[in-house]
Amino acid sequence: MPPKRAAAAAAPKKAAAAPKAAAGKTAAKVTKASATTKKAPAKKVATNGETSLPVRRGRPPKKDADAPAPTKKTVKTVKKAATKKKSDDAATASFSTQAASEATQETAATSTTETAPAKASRKRKATEEPEVPVAKKIRIARFKEEDKNKAPTQKLHVYVFGEGSSGELGLGTAKNAVDVKRPRLNPLLPANSVGVVQVSTGGMHVLALTHDNKILSWGVNDQGALGRDTTWEGGLVDIDDAKSEDSSDSGSDSGMNPKEATPTAIPSDAFPEGTKFVQVAASDSASFALTDEGLVYGWGTFRSNEGIFGFSKKTFIQKTPELIPELKKIRDIVCGANHVLALDADGNVFAWGSGQQNQLGRRVIERTKTEGLVPREFGLPRRKIAQVACGSYHSFAVEKNGTVWAWGLNNFGETGIPDNAGEDDAVILKPAKVPALSEKKIKMIDGGGHHSGAITEDGKCLVWGRLDGYQMGLPMDTLKSLGEDKIKKDEHDRPRILKVPTELPNINGDFITCGTDHNIVISKEGKAYSWGFSANYQTGQGTDDDIEVATMIDNTAVREKKLNWAGAGGQYSILTAPAEDAPVVNGTH
């Protein structure tokens, strides 16, 4: 998309047997909490593969007619950066047992990674010669100079809105950094000096690439998603006490860790000298950076239904950037809640991460599930793919000829394949063609929690999937009037799933991003339209009431701007616009 969330987004969106918990997109208001750690929202899912609608402020939450599901995030807590979740510790122990049952875990407190233990080697007889270790060489396939990935050069104005109590908005620790009802220009990211050229939104953290080749990160760092040390020994106060309608940026303590809430560059010594970046991508609890040579660095971790799943077969949490050796000549990276797709220069696709909802497109059995942490090709046509995209727990690939493939969680028909939509734990086991999209000339496609959207070459905006939280942007009366071939209703005869990609009227679309339960489209005229769940102001419409139909975002900050990108996180959003008065440049690390 432009690399999905090439300025990108997301957390378990409404329900899925998965966890977008560490980048989970949770959409509920923040209240006082006694816990000491932050938990990523929405991308946590129930075992039946369905997330619930977040609790709305000031009114009773929607009830899911099919089955109860956990709410998105009714409580948010602020923690000291050094605090660990007990549940994560338990999950880590469980992972350790599965990954190396014959070993005991040893983790150095000062290490930059938390590694899985290795099996002890057999004892050597006294007469045996000691084995001389041989260094393992990794062959790096490199592009010719003319084939290298090109870094973006246009400096951008960055506008933020929604829930910011965990630092997701990158506004620092001022009181008015918590709830931002409409787009606000981020004063910590001035185009002329900082010069952001690309953004990616995760569930509860954000990455930005700058014109001088820095990678900035901010937001939740519980599992190393920021790629840098955010230890803070200063005092923290209750978030509720920090919320204020005061419009001043006086720097009053908002209860946030300033090292998380302030956009800060990952140290340059984390990468080899001369490394030049072209793209960043964020999932729920992991982050990735693509270089001009087609190499990929990553950090953070993936999560599963049981908690922390791991970053690689040997590492639970990767706290600083690490080269992923299996990936070479990569052109694009996109992230779901806890899985990643990488498209290489030859049109082949690699997938890795958590595969509990078949979002990796390949079989992952329980006793060898850590194999999912290794990037591998799977059942797509080789050398034919032109575009990839992710929802929270489902995935898409578009061939050069326009054929669309989808796989992963499908309990709300989010893949666009209606066969088993609405069934509990419904999945598409391996890549399957989406007939309803393959003749549409798809320009870009994106996935949300349990819904999806696409833009065609002629500007049509198509939507499908879960609709009981206004995710479709169509009037409910219109949805009710559609026949059974397009709509699946619940037992109370209420529309629940839009099974067929359906056009949104009156939008000449150029770009779409799908959050957990809200969406934003950028029109060819540079205007932003949003709709869906808005309890945390993530639609930018100035209200915490849900937005039923696609509505233009219109305030003084963006009214005269020609917007070019949007990112939808768990409970916040970001817009960008070209800074026409800023020089177009790009540097080298």
| Residue range 256-315, pLDDT digits in tens | 999 999 999 999 999 999 999 999 999 999 999 999 999 999 999 999 999 999 999 999
CA 573 to CA 536: how far, in whole Å? 10
Q: Residues of the chain with pLDDT > 70: what percent?
A: 71
Asked whether residue 561 carries a pLDDT value surpassing 60, the answer given is yes
CA 12 to CA 450: how far, in whole Å? 9
Asked whether residue 569 carries a pLDDT value surpassing 70, the answer given is yes
Among 555, 435, 413, CA closest to 486: 413
Q: Residue 121: which pLDDT band, with cuts at 50, 70 and 90?
A: very low
Could you tell me the end-to-end alpha-carbon distance of the chain, in angstroms, rounded to an integer? 25
In this prediction, residue 32 carries a pLDDT of 35
Q: Which CATH number fits domain 153-578: 2.130.10.30, 3.40.50.300, 3.40.50.720, 1.10.10.10?
A: 2.130.10.30
Q: Is 233 exposed, middle or buried (0-12, 13-18, 19+ CB in 10 A)?
A: exposed
CA 89 to CA 72: how far, in whole Å? 22
Q: Specify the amino acid at residue 35.
A: A
Instruction: Indicate the DSSP class of residue 355.
Output: -
User: In whole angstroms, how large is the CA radius of gyration of the chain?
Assistant: 22
- How does strand 277-282 pair with strand 264-265? unpaired
- The predicted model gives 516-534 an average pLDDT of 98
Q: Read off the pLDDT of residues 438-466 as tens digits, 9 standing for 90 and up.
A: 889 999 999 999 999 999 999 999 999 99
Question: Which residues are bridge partners to 300 per DSSP?
Answer: 286, 318
Among 144, 137, 586, 152, CA closest to 345: 144
Q: Read off the pLDDT of residues 472-506 as tens digits, 9 standing for 90 and up.
A: 999 999 999 998 899 999 988 899 999 999 999 99
Mean pLDDT, all residues of the chain = 81
Question: Which residues are bridge partners to 532 per DSSP?
Answer: 518, 547
Among 30, 122, 131, CA closest to 72: 30
Residue entry with tokens 């666009």:
416
By the 8 A CB rule, do 89 and 73 touch?
A: no
Instruction: Indicate the DSSP class of residue 312.
Output: S
Please give the model's pTM, rounded to 2 decimal places. Answer: 0.78
Residues in the chain, overall count: 589
Q: Read off the pLDDT of residues 8-62 as tens digits, 9 standing for 90 and up.
A: 333 343 344 444 333 443 333 333 333 334 444 444 334 444 444 444 444 444 4
- The predicted model gives 522-533 an average pLDDT of 98
Instruction: Indicate the DSSP class of residue 89.
Output: H
Q: Residue 254: which pLDDT band, with cuts at 50, 70 and 90?
A: low
- The predicted model gives 92-97 an average pLDDT of 43
In this prediction, residue 587 carries a pLDDT of 54
Asked whether residue 525 carries a pLDDT value surpassing 60, the answer given is yes
Better-predicted residue by pLDDT, 110 or 138: 138
Name the token pair of 335: 């992230």
SS3 for 381-410 is CCCCEEEEEECCCEEEEEECCCCEEEEEEC
70 φ, ψ (degrees, to nearest 5):
-65, 145
Q: Is 476 exposed, middle or buried (0-12, 13-18, 19+ CB in 10 A)?
A: middle
Neighbours of 458 (CB within 10 A): 10
By the 8 A CB rule, do 328 and 339 touch?
A: no
Neighbours of 326 (CB within 10 A): 14
CA 1 to CA 471: how far, in whole Å? 20
Q: Residue 126: which pLDDT band, with cuts at 50, 70 and 90?
A: very low
The H-assigned helical ranges of 443-557 are 476-481
Q: Residue 105: which pLDDT band, with cuts at 50, 70 and 90?
A: very low
Q: Which residues contact 414 (CB under 8 A, 6 or more apart)?
A: 391, 394, 447, 448, 450, 451, 452, 464, 465, 466
DSSP 320-349: EEEE-TT--SEEEEEE-SSEEEEEETTS-E
In this prediction, residue 422 carries a pLDDT of 87
Name the token pair of 413: 């028909």
